[in-house]
Amino acid sequence: MTLLDAITGPGDVRALPSSALPVLAGEIRRFLIEQVSRAGGHLGPNLGAVELTIAVHRVFDSPHDVLLFDTGHQAYVHKVLTGRAAEFETLRRAGGLSGYPSAAESPHDVIENSHASTALSYADGVAKALRLKGSARRVVAIVGDGALTGGMAWEALNNLASTEHPVVIVLNDNGRSYAPTVGGLGAHLGALRSGRAEPGNLFQDLGLAYLGPVDGHDPADLECALTEAAALGRPVVVHCVTRKGKGYPPAEQDQADHHHAVSATGSNGGRTWTDVFGAEIAAIGEDRSDVVCLTAAMQGPTGLDAFAERFPQRVFDVGIAEQHAVTSAAGLAMAGLHPVVAVYATFISRAFDQVLLDVALHRLPVTFVLDRAGVTGPDGPSHHGMWDASVLPVVPGLRLAAPRDPARLRELLREAVAVSDGPTALRYPKAAAGADIPAVRRIGRCDVLREEPDPVGLLIAVGPMAKACLEAAEELAGHGVPVDVVDPRWTAPLDPALVKLAAAHQFVLAVEDTTATGALGGRLAQALAVLGAPTRVGTFALPASFLPHGSRAEILRAHGLDAAGITTTVLKRLKEHS
Ligand SMILES: Cc1ncc(C[n+]2csc(CCOP(=O)(O)OP(=O)(O)O)c2C)c(N)n1
Ligand SMILES: CC(=O)[C@@H](O)[C@H](O)COP(=O)(O)O
Ligand SMILES: [Mg+2]
């Protein structure tokens, strides 16, 4: 029986003698390495948070005290210490443990959103409420150095600094996001870590108490500092210095790669959309010296490494700061360049105002490349890229494209960076990019992929849905239901040629890897209604809800967005209207 076997909750962690803590930490590391290497997930961040999380649970009393994990990818140790070790076999799998805190799993879990830089704002709000309710519960925010590069974090610190709220800010400083933390803050934290804080202390200058730097892998140091912080009764930063991947040499030596380890079964193989983008943007960089790229602390994951290697002066990592990235891109465009902002689709939501009023209002040539669009998979509801294709079409002058295959990604990316009078955006999923799908002919901006002599309907295959739509069309032909298939390529604004093509069919179904609200199908239906066309238009997309984690294929299949589901839906809807 190991110490870990006996941990059913934080009470068991607090009951351990200090002498047992290094043994427990070692057991937890071995457990994480085994579990995460098999299932995939955030190995490096969690190996770095072992002692820190043990200390937090020994000094504070969750769930009476409120523990707020920023981003939440480093909460595996928290899950182990709150009685969920036995469920780790199911980590990030459909129906199993989430890779982030989940209130449905435990009363110890609070923030479910995996978007960084939010924990201090939650802490500010929770602390204000507890104060008004006369509660003595304490509030603890565990925040990474990378998350501190997000603007929200400083909006919250600005507020917290003017209060006497007992908020303990555990700064988990390993000096990195994926890559080393950038900017003046990265340098300042480095100076504080080394004790060379000649320019003073940013946190103290704001009016916050500061304790540190503390060895984030020394249980006694950590408990002493957290106990002192808890007794202060005012907002305090406990600056813990940790190492990402601690205790596992491969993760310590290649910290970026082990930030998010792929499962032992490996990825689904094959060239990904990100690979295709990465090669093409580097080629474009050769042809267009005005093209520059921006990343929000995710140069590698968004495929910009090749461009950065070739053009180091033309790629800008702004930290986890998507809002700043977009408006800085607006500045770059105002000064005559063509910026490409590469972010995951889910994170562009954070910068909608900047896209709308800092870029589009000025009709600036900024191109947004939205990776991980649509159903993302194991990262769960706040990582699915399900809202960009609904919100971006309301931006006046913005053109949105969805490539169906590698050739179209290259083609549409070049079309996008050739636009000089407004913003453009491309979106593609976290998946193998598959083979090229040739067009029969082009109408307007659309590619006709299949054309029947006497079709009963039209499938509008948006982006990566093309393959499943063509397979469905083949199945439908076997049922004596011939349908045409068209790929719009540019999904917003609506192509008049697409509207005209749809008006020529009795039945049209738009198949989309995005939430149904605001999708292309709805906008097409409105346009056809204005024309008075008799066409029946349907949208076949994801529900307007938060989808749990699982594999991309499982989730798409569950919502009928595979060939079989599309076939069934077409037959069902044709029958309803017969
Ligand atoms: C708004 C937002 N942008 C990007 C990401 C992707 N992301 C996940 S973890 C991470 C790095 C976080 O660094 P840090 O806060 O220092 O935590 P660490 O992994 O070092 O423990 C990033 C950029 C995110 N989760 N949220
Ligand atoms: C927590 C976070 O936002 C990232 O680490 C994300 O989990 C990475 O996902 P990918 O594996 O799709 O790059
Ligand atoms: Mg970090």
Q: What tokens does 253 get?
A: 């030596």
Q: Report the distance separating Cα 446 and Cα 409, nearest Å.
A: 14
Cis peptide before 393 (omega within 30 of 0): no
Top mutation candidate among 379, 382, 552 for ligand 2, by most atoms within 8 Å of CB? 379
Q: Would you say the CB of residue 260 lies under 6 angstroms from ligand 2? A: yes
Tokens read off for 296:
């929000």
Q: Are 569 and 539 in contact, with CB atoms under 8 Å apart?
A: no
| Mutation pick for ligand 1 pocket among 78, 142, 177, 258 (CB with most ligand atoms within 8 Å) | 177
Q: Is 115 assigned a ligand-binding role in the annotation?
A: yes
Look at the domain 441-576 and name its fold.
Rossmann fold (3.40.50)
Alpha-carbon distance values, 146 to 117, 206, 363, 418 (Å): 8, 19, 32, 34
The closest residue, in CA terms, to atom 23 on ligand 1 is: 297
Q: What angle do CA 319, 119, 7 make, to 5 degrees?
A: 115
Under 8 Å between Cβ of 2 and 33: no
Q: Which of 77, 320, 371, 379 to mutate to test the pocket of ligand 1 (most atoms within 8 A of CB)?
A: 320
**Which amino acid, residue 248?**
Y
Considering 93, 244, 430, 489, which one is annotated as catalytic? Answer: 244
Rounded Cα gap, residues 87 and 74, in angstroms: 17
| Atom in ligand 2 nearest the alpha carbon of residue 178 | 5
- Determine if ligand 1 sits within 6 Å of the CB of residue 174: yes
What is the position in ligand 2's atom list of the atom closest to the CA of 262? Answer: 11
Instruction: Transcribe 208-237 into DSSP letters.
Output: -EEEEEEETT-HHHHHHHHHHHHHH-S-EE
CB 31 within 8 A of CB 85: yes
Strands 446-450, 441-443: parallel, antiparallel or unpaired by DSSP? antiparallel
Of 68, 71, 387, the residue with max ligand 1 atoms within 8 A of its CB, to mutate for a pocket test, comes to 71
Alpha carbon distance 451, 482 (integer Å): 9
- Distance, CA 338 to ligand 1 centroid (Å)? 27
Q: Confirm or reject: Cβ of 552 under 6 Å from ligand 1.
A: no
Say if ligand 1 is within 6 A of residue 302 CB. no
Cβ of 186 closer than 6 Å to ligand 1, yes or no, is no
pTM: 0.97
* CA nearest ligand 1 atom 10, residue: 177
Establish whether residue 326 lines the binding site of ligand 1, counting it when its CB lies within 6 angstroms of any ligand atom.
no
- For residue 116, say whether it is annotated as part of any ligand binding site: yes
89 catalytic residue (yes or no): no
Residue of 350, 410, 450, 489 marked active site: 350
SS3 content of the chain, % helix, strand, coil (to 5): 45, 20, 40
> What are the strands of the beta sheet with 399-401, ordered from one edge?
315-317, 291-295, 338-344, 367-371, 424-427, 399-401, 490-492
Distance CA 127, CA 120 (A): 10
| Nearest residue to 150 (alpha-carbon basis) of 379, 349, 391, 350 | 350
Measured from the Cα of 298, ligand 2's closest atom is 13
**Residue 114 assigned to a binding site:** yes
**In this structure, what are the phi and psi dihedrals at residue 363, rounded to the nearest 5 degrees?**
50, 50
Give the residue extent of every domain in the chain: 4-245, 273-427, 441-576
Tell which atom from ligand 1 comes closest to the C-alpha of 74.
Answer: 21
Amino acid in the structure at residue 66: V
The answer to whether 382 and 114 have CB atoms below 8 angstroms apart is yes
Q: What is the DSSP letter of 110?
A: -
pLDDT of 414 reads: 98
Q: 3-state SS string over 1-65? A: CCCHHHCCCHHHHHHCCHHHHHHHHHHHHHHHHHHHHHHCECHHHHHCCHHHHHHHHHHCCCCCC
Is 320 near ligand 1, meaning CB less than 6 Å away? yes
Residues 6+ apart with CB under 8 A from 124: 156, 159, 160, 163, 165, 167
- The number of the ligand nearest the C-alpha atom of 151 reads 1
- Helix and strand element counts for the chain (H, E): 23, 18
Q: What is the pLDDT along the chain (578 residues), one digit of tens a residue?
A: 899 999 999 999 999 999 999 999 999 999 999 999 888 999 999 999 999 999 999 999 999 999 999 999 999 999 999 999 999 999 999 999 999 999 999 999 999 999 999 999 999 999 999 999 999 999 999 999 999 999 999 999 999 999 999 999 999 999 999 999 999 999 999 999 998 768 699 999 999 999 999 999 999 999 999 999 999 999 999 999 999 999 999 989 888 888 887 766 556 568 999 999 999 999 999 999 999 999 999 999 999 999 999 999 999 999 999 999 999 999 999 999 999 999 999 999 999 999 999 999 999 999 999 999 999 999 999 999 999 999 999 999 999 999 999 999 999 999 999 999 999 999 999 999 999 999 999 999 999 999 999 999 999 999 999 999 999 999 999 999 999 999 999 999 999 999 999 999 999 999 999 999 999 999 999 999 999 999 999 999 999 999 999 999 999 999 999 999 999 999 999 998 77
The residue written with tokens 């005012």 in the block is 234
User: For the domain with range 4-245, which CATH number is right: 3.40.50.150, 3.40.50.970, 3.40.50.2020, 3.40.50.720?
Assistant: 3.40.50.970
Distance CA 34, CA 568 (A): 42
Whether 350 is catalytic: yes
Q: Is 278 exposed, middle or buried (0-12, 13-18, 19+ CB in 10 A)?
A: buried
Fold of the CATH domain 273-427: Rossmann fold (3.40.50)
Nearest CA to ligand 2 atom 5: 260
- Number of residues assigned to the chain: 578
Same fold, 4-245 and 441-576: yes
Residue 244 annotated as catalytic: yes
Which residue has the CA at smallest separation from atom 25 of ligand 1? 115
Whether the CB of 403 sits within 6 Å of ligand 1 = no
Q: Is the CB of 115 under 6 A from ligand 1?
A: yes
What is the number of the ligand 1 atom nearest to the C-alpha of 116? 26
Atom index in ligand 1 nearest the CA of residue 42 equals 19
Map residue 487 onto helix, strand or coil. strand
- The answer to whether the CB of 415 is under 6 A from ligand 2 is no
Q: Which pLDDT score is estimated for 494?
A: 98
258 lines ligand 2 (CB under 6 A): no
Residue nearest atom 12 in ligand 1 by C-alpha distance: 177
**Which of 177, 136, 95, 11 is CA-nearest to residue 378?**
95
